[in-house]
């Protein structure tokens, strides 16, 4: 219907028929956005002045409308697009391997889209609830990982690849899809959105004490350099980002393909190793959600705050791909590929836990 009206409108404006003009005005008032209204009036004015650029403008508007409609469709069916990304990453290992060197740039671009997708209103809401939100962020991104680092060091596991991966998961901010997960599980998204905003902004600071105490992370210089890399990358992403949910979803699906680049080779070479990483990914994700949910319940938190337990297990670990110092190992990429599975299956597999509210 939208495209039909659009073509009819443009055809009528171009020919100058009265019926087309009336239809144009009707559509402009009834269903089109402010930007599209401006475009149509420009076309109409140029046609009245017999300007030759009118045909080019018509083509541009028609292409823009189709692109917007396509991105809206992708955003509406985002879950299926992400699943297709997972499947493509497994079935097309050559493409996944070709994308692997570009993962850092893709993650940076995704951060840019996400920053404007969040918008100023959400940031203002997060600032209005800064105390309670920062407490949750500090608990999730500092206390949790430091506690686990202490336990790992006590058992002599501080220098292992698993220790590095677990620490990065616990130190990472929320995934951008956490508010959508909250909606799917019957909660309001505001609380998870606030933690997403504040947690992402605080990451360059909260990551320093966590990795400082982890032997596998290297020296203090390496940790500070990682913090600088994250700060610069996030700053550039926010400055150059573009606001389209559909583009964000499509870009995330493309990144997922790249993240699966280490899965198929590992499956062929060492299936037991892949199984071990899968068990770790599922246990870490769902275990953190369960523990946090129980903690919130026992402390008498309201139902909307309980929804933040979703964030406890679903962390944006891929953000560390922008820092080569911690993401250049094959084990890290194998875990990232495995971690996508429990993450995107959370609304299905964890519904039994959250539906009791």
In the chain, where does the domain assigned CATH 1.20.1530.20 lie?
77-354
What pairs with residue 174 in β-bridges?
A: 315
> Whole-model pTM above 0.75?
no
Cα dihedral 271, 273, 275, 281, rounded to 10, equals -150
In this predicted structure, the answer to whether residue 250 has a pLDDT above a threshold of 50 is: yes
Least-confidence region, from 7-11, 77-81, 99-103, 201-205: 7-11
Q: How confident is the model at residue 145 (pLDDT cuts 50, 70, 90)?
A: very high
What average pLDDT does the chain have? 72
According to CATH, what is the number of the domain 77-354? 1.20.1530.20
The whole-number pLDDT of residue 192 equals 84
Q: Higher pLDDT residue, 245 or 136?
A: 136
Q: What's the whole-number mean pLDDT along residues 252-273?
A: 76
% of the chain surpassing 90 pLDDT: 18
């Amino acid at each position: 219907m939208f495209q039909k009206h659009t073509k009819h409108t443009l055809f009528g404006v171009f020919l100058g028929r009265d019926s087309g003009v009336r239809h144009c005005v009707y559509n402009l008032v009834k269903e089109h956005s402010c930007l599209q209204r401006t475009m149509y009036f420009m076309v109409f004015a140029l046609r009245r002045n017999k300007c030759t650029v009118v045909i080019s403008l018509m083509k541009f508007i028609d292409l823009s409308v189709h692109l917007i409609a396509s991105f809206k469709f992708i955003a509406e069916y985002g879950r299926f697009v992400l699943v297709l990304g997972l499947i493509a990453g497994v079935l097309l290992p050559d493409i996944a391997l070709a994308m692997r060197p570009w993962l850092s740039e893709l993650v940076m671009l995704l951060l840019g889209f996400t920053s404007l997708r969040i918008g100023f209103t959400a940031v203002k809401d997060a600032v209005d609830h800064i105390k309670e939100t920062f407490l949750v962020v500090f608990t999730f991104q500092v206390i949790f990982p430091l506690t686990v680092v202490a336990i790992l060091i006590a058992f002599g596991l501080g220098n292992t690849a698993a220790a590095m991966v677990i620490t990065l998961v616990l130190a990472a901010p929320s995934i951008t899809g956490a508010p959508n997960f909250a909606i799917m599980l019957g909660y309001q998204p505001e609380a998870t959105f606030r933690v997403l905003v504040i947690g992402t902004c605080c990451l360059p600071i909260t990551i320093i004490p966590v990795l400082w105490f982890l032997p596998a992370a290297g020296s203090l210089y390496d940790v500070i350099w990682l913090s600088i890399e994250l700060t610069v990358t996030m700053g550039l992403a926010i400055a150059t980002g573009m606001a389209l949910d559909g583009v964000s979803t499509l870009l995330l699906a493309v990144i997922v393909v790249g993240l699966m680049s280490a899965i198929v080779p590992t499956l062929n070479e060492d299936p037991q190793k892949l199984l071990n990483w899968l068990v770790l990914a599922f246990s870490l994700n769902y275990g953190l959600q369960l523990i946090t949910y129980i903690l919130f319940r026992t402390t008498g938190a309201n139902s909307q705050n309980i929804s933040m337990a979703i964030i406890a297990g679903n962390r944006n670990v891929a953000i560390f791909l922008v820092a080569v110092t911690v993401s250049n190992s094959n084990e890290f990429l194998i875990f990232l590929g495995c971690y996508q599975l429990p993450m995107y299956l959370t609304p299905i597999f964890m519904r039994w836990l959250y539906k009791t509210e």
